Amino acid sequence: MAEQELRETSPMSEGIDQELPNRSEANPPPSTKKPRLRRVALWVTVVIVGGAVAVWVLGFFLYATHGHDEFFDDRLAARAEPVCARAQEKLRTDESLPEDPTGEDRAQVVERTTEVFAQMRDELRQLQRPGTNESFDEWLRTLDEYVELGPRFAAALRTGNPDIYEPVGNEGDRPATLMNRIARANDMDDCVF
């Protein structure tokens, strides 16, 4: 009995006779669902962000490497170039200016040149329906602007006054530059004037 009392009072003996709790009950394993969901969420995020970055890089590459004046239609450019070549031929065979041209001589050349450009523009319009290709439409609008300037420039040349004809002539610089830039962007050498 003394032994039993000692056993009951001894701090070392406390809990010896008691059943130890199951380790799995005391510290349950962490849930495997949460880390798995986190991994899936991480992968989904990586794929979405990576895809967005890839699309952005591709878009930037296409934007940076392609001229904004390109038609993106080689067949259209190939059909336009012979029209321009015929216009170039007409301009080459046109009479040249006399050695000391007057304002009237220059005005007549401008009028003939304007007619050639107007005919070329009309032929080019037959190649593609408006609204089909924005760069091509812009090229034709610029050509319209250039053609419309011709009669004004011819009239200004007839005055013989540089203060009148030079500013009008300078108005043709912007459309001529844009027309040539679009032609070069589409490898249409015959359309560079």
pLDDT surpassing 60 at residue 171: yes
Give the C-alpha distances (Å, rounded to integers) separating 70 from 4, 57, 133, 142. 102, 20, 10, 15
Query: pLDDT, tens digit, for every residue of 32-69?
Result: 567 787 888 888 888 888 888 878 877 766 555 555 55
Would you give the DSSP letter of residue 188? -
With contact defined as beta carbons under 8 Å apart, do 182 and 124 qualify?
no
Query: pLDDT, tens digit, for every residue of 93-123?
Result: 877 788 889 999 999 999 999 999 999 999 9
